Amino acid sequence: MHRLFGALDRVNRGTERLLGAVLLALLGFFFLSVLYQILNRNLPALPNAYWTEELSRFAFQWMVLLGTAVGVLRNDHFVLEAFPRGSLAARLTTAVRELALFGIALVFLVQGYGFGIGGLNRTSTAVGLPMVYVYMAFTACGALMLLFCAQRLLGLALFGAEGMRTRLDAPGPEEATAVQDGPETRR
């Protein structure tokens, strides 16, 4: 089981790096298309590009849903810790939270797939893009959340709540460097 946890960790960290690149590209596209919209409204010499509004909205949707999945991996979602760490109540609420996230991921996957298939017969207005590419963002979010939740649940089963938190919620290499090089040491 420890080998499975390690394999999931490698797959998930690689997926996280890939998602980081995809999210950065989507953010760049979103920024440039919105900038063009602003410039287009104020500079009459620029040609109208109706596709920018539509594609920027689609990019935003993908960014939100893929970012949600990354938030599950990093445990960056909203968590209220009502009980002292290590107490039985804290361990139980952690287990319930992780199982609830798994259930939500299943809903996103199953219902998102049905939603995505509904986009096969639809096209976007300005670009003519089949909407299945837009609607499948929910399915992708669900699949990634399931992958990340699987590691979290396995970590919970193998190491307990604190052990899982230590192994999975610790800052990555980039964040650890930023923490070590805090404002007091950057002089």
- Domain boundaries defined on the chain: 2-171
Per-residue confidence (pLDDT) for residue 69, from 0 to 100: 95
Per-residue confidence (pLDDT) for residue 175, from 0 to 100: 52
Q: Does the pLDDT of residue 185 top 50, yes or no?
A: no
Q: Report the distance separating Cα 83 and Cα 140, nearest Å.
A: 34
Termini Cα distance of the chain: 45
Burial of 125 (0-12, 13-18, 19+ CB in 10 A): exposed
Q: What is the pTM of this model?
A: 0.84
- Two tokens at 103? 């259930």
- Two tokens at 181? 């090089």
DSSP state of 131: T
Query: How far is it between the farthest Cα atoms of the chain?
Result: 67
Phi–psi pair at 44, nearest 5 degrees? -65, -15
Per residue in 86-141, pLDDT (tens digit) is: 899 989 999 999 999 999 999 999 999 999 999 999 999 989 999 999 999 999 99
Q: Residues 54-66: what's their mean pLDDT?
A: 96
